[in-house]
Structure 1
Amino acid sequence: MRLPVFSLAVGAFGIGMTEFVAMGLLPDIATSLHVSITAAGLLISAYALGVVVGAPTLAALTRHLKPKPVLTLLMALFTLGNLLSAVAPSYPLLMLTRLLSGLPHGAFFGVGAVVAARLAPRGREAQTMALVFLGLSFANVVGVPFGTWLGQTFSWRVTFAVVALIGVLSALGVWRWIPDLDNNQAGGLRQQLRAFRNPQLWRIMAVTVIGFGSMFAAFSYVAPLMTEVAGFRAAAVTPILMVAGLGMMAGNLIGGRVADRAPRRATLALLAALAAILVVLSFAAHGPVTAVVTLFLFTTIAFSLASPLQLITLQSARGAETLAAATNQSAFNLANALGAFLGGLPIAAGYGYTASALVGAGLAVAGLLIALGLRDAPRPSLQPAEAPTAPAYARGGSGGA
């Protein structure tokens, strides 16, 4: 992995850590701030709301700036939000700082995806974008368990302070290693919004919300699925989640490769595979070994879907790639909310934890039906105009570090 992409992956690691670590620290936060677990859980919703609102808003407000200062400013805002979370003296203020922390999330991934694609050799755009998102999945393997341990051993405030430090490191790396690319976004905001007249973009957003929502319908309830159905003890949930995180990492890498070859066909095949593996999971969850193996395959397939969706988004939004990519990040978070809500309905109705996997399978099929209407978009050149004189790492590929 080259240094510019590595600096973006570090930022993605910090974002993934702060997004998911709060789930494991809810009891500690609730006790510290004298609120209920339910109230503390709203902090997760506040972060998600920040992502949904901030992604298109910040992308639009910074559209006239070059990518390098935009990414640096977004990481600075992310750092500030987490630093303020670490010192927030009350629940209302922590709610506000979590909202602030979520604002730069989608815009960072939107701008970062475009930058990664512009630095990639032609034909390897999705693979390079996948390396950025690898930081997000790596956070689930290492960052979230470490942050949870840190918060439970010392204080949840220490965890947010560490995330802020990661934000500082990413901002410094972005400023040092990202080349000074020109702003290739066409015209003003009104002109960029015209890209959203393309029905393909809205179809992609729908596939993201519904099709990727299938992942969250099942994964949101993976802990009780493993303990109540597969028969694991509660202490085994953390290593099981690490296995799921390894699947996410594998999926990122696989998705990048298949997307570069044929993003539309990859999307259709992965949605079909996702529906099938969720049906299998509903049966395999009754055995501990089969449950873990199927969980790994499930997260691998689910996260393979992200790169094709991102690449089709960029290909379908000429002149407004950053705004479209950031908006698609909002769609991913809507998928999180929708999937978790729908996946919980049959559980609340008494049908058991395996029912959420079947709901996920249904959402994957619905996403597949919508995706059948996608068309192969022309592959525009995302390379910077100064590519012939770009630094060696921008021309030489995105190989491993």
Structure 2
Amino acid sequence: MALLSLAIGAFGIGMTEFVSMGLLPGIASDLLPALYASDTEEAIARAGMLISLYALGVVIGAPTIAGFASRFPRHRVVLVLVAALLVFNGLTVIAPTFELVAISRFLSGVPHGAYFGMGALVASELLGPAKRGRAVSLMMTGLTVANVVGVPAGTFLGQAVGWRAAYIVVALVFAAALVMCGRFLPAQPGDPGRTFRHELRVFLIPQVWFAIGIGAIGFGAFFAIYSYVATLVTEAAGAPEWLVPFALMALGLGMVVGNLFGGRLADASVTRTLLVGLAGMSLVSVVVAVLSSWSVALIAALFVFGLIAQLINPAIQLRLFDVAHEHQALAGALNHSALNIGNSVGAAVGGAVIAAGFGYVAPAWAGAVLAAAGAVIAVASLAVDRRAVRVAA
């Protein structure tokens, strides 16, 4: 029940992070009506800034909160973070202007990384060190299921009755998570001796920066494509808008399947999972681009893309745990800072290539480049590791 409680919170985060991506045209037309009427591409690209602002909130909030909160009992920190997620997503529902919605999206992202980081530590403690990858993947099941059920349903609801309705559902999910976590999370002490200054020493470890780069650049490929699924389906493939939730569902199903195996693969070999996964993401991004003119083939390619992307998620988390040594709380949060730098980079690059006139397929080609760059960073990180071993020998 404790793992289920954490997974419900992850479900809510999955919805709030990803549901915007299928609703960008509706958000743009509602909050930027004049620009949408005169330049639809520019309006959609500007609405994509909401995705980047959410990611920026994660990047800033994750290490800051984790650094201060590591001294406090972990279960209480999780409760405070879920309450913050509830309040800030509620603000998105009622904010009347684009600027206020932008602020609410930034604030909604602030607790995100710290929740996953602290939740990963709680889950790992429950299952033990030999099953760390499976512990992370079990908690992340909520996020992947959100991409199968929550995001498509929220997208359909938002298209039918207005985009704000999707965020009402998000707030209700966080309310349920708050009740569940308060009831079932076991007490886990913090480390009173930890200080924010001590935790910041994690940034003096070079391999931590390599791991952040893998997530920030390599996983940016995922968000370059995911952020513009709606326009890939409706503009590139020329399919009707009602097919967008099915495309999101296919991608989410792929993530669920990938999550089922990603934790076990990471427990077997973190480095091999990273290298094979990033190379696979680059290849499948090309496949998405090539098949983007045919809606059925595009949806099938999105399924495979989601599967490959989710395979490497637990591996990135474990890599950070391994290289951060005693700074585990901050390492858990930094994973989600890295992934959401990737969110910001991917969404920004995808929007930039669309706004530059390269067309609605361009984000997929950009994703192939980002994933390949992430693989290069991973290879460099492993080369530094091997050199250190040789020097020590």
TM-score band w.r.t. shorter chain: 0.7 to 0.9
Alignment of 1:290-329 (within 5 A): 290-329=297-336
- Indicate conservation of the 8 Å contact 1:117/1:128, yes or no: yes
RMSD: 2.6
Alignment-mate amino acid for residue 279 of structure 1: V
2: CA distance, partners of 1:149 / 1:219: 16
- Kindly provide the CA deviation profile for residues 78-124 of structure 1, in whole angstroms up to 9, marking residues without a partner as x: 11112233333555444433332221111101111121122114322
Structure 2 length normalisation: TM-score? 0.86
Matches within 5 A, 1:144-155: 144-154=151-161
Which residue in the other structure is 2:19 paired with? Answer: 21
Contact 2:121 2:329 in 1 (8 A): yes
When residues 96 and 343 of structure 1 are mapped into structure 2, their CA distance, relative to the original with a 3 A threshold, is closer
Question: Quick one: structure 1 residues 27 and 266, their matched pair in 2 at CA, closer, same or farther if it must change by over 3 Å?
Answer: closer
Provide the rounded CA distance (Å) in 2 between the counterparts of 1:152 and 1:199. 46
1: distance between equivalents of 2:237 and 2:164? 34
Q: Superposed, which structure 2 residues align to 1:278-293 within 5 Å?
A: 278-293=285-300
Aligned counterpart, 1:384: none
Tell me which residue corresponds to 1:248: 255
Tell me the equivalent position of 1:386.
none
CA shift, 1:191, in A, is 2.1
Q: 1:42 to 1:289 in 2, by over 3 A?
A: closer
Match of 2:273 in 1: 266
Residue 290 of structure 1: CA displacement? 3.1
Which residue of structure 2 lines up, in the alignment, with residue 183 of structure 1? 190
Q: What is aligned with 1:395?
A: none
CA contact (8 A) 1:14 1:139 kept: yes
Paired letter, 1:223: A
1:328-361, Cα deviation, whole Å (9 max, x unpaired): 2122111122123334454445444444323222
Whole-angstrom CA distance in 1 between matches of 2:381 and 2:228: 31
Alpha-carbon deviation of 1:265?
Answer: 1.2
Relative distance call for 1:99 and 1:292 in structure 2 (3 A) is: closer
Shift of 1:267: 0.5
| CA drift at 1:177 | 1.4
Q: CA deviation at 1:287?
A: 3.8
- Looking at structure 2, the residues matched to 13 and 244 of structure 1 have their Cα atoms a distance apart, in angstroms, of 15
Distance 2:375 2:15 in 1: 30
The range that moved more, 223-232 or 113-122, is 223-232
Residue identity opposite 1:12 in structure 2: A
Distance 1:100 1:276, change over 3 A: closer
Partner of 2:79: 72
- Corresponding residue SS for 1:277: helix
> Gapped runs of 5+ residues in structure 1?
378-401
In the other structure, the counterpart of 2:40 is: none
Does residue 1:218 correspond to 2:225, yes or no?
yes
Equivalence for 1:390: none
Change (3 A) 1:33 1:312: closer
Structure 1 residue 87 and structure 2 residue 85: aligned?
A: no
Letter of the 2:6 partner, please give it: L
- Match 1:10 to one of 8, 11, 14: 8
Question: Which of the pair is proportionally richer in helix?
Answer: 2
The percentage of counterpart residues that share the same residue type is 44
Distance 1:185 1:311, change over 3 A: farther
Once the two structures are TM-superposed, the CA of residue 76 in structure 1 deviates from its matched residue by 0.7
**Residues of 2 paired with 1:81 and 1:349: CA distance?**
33
Which deviates further from its counterpart, 291-300 or 72-81?
A: 291-300
- What is the TM-score of this pair, normalised by structure 1? 0.84
More deviation, 127-136/94-103: 94-103
Q: CA deviation at 1:284?
A: 3.1
Q: Say whether 1:160 aligns with 2:167.
A: yes
- Deviation, 1:311, is 0.8
Aligned ranges 1:297-376 → 2 under 5 Å: 297-375=304-382
Asked if 2 retains the 8 angstrom alpha-carbon contact of 1:56 and 1:323, the reply is yes
Aligned residue-pair number:
375
Which is further off, 165-174 or 304-313? 165-174
Pick one of 204, 227, 239 that aligns with 1:232: 239
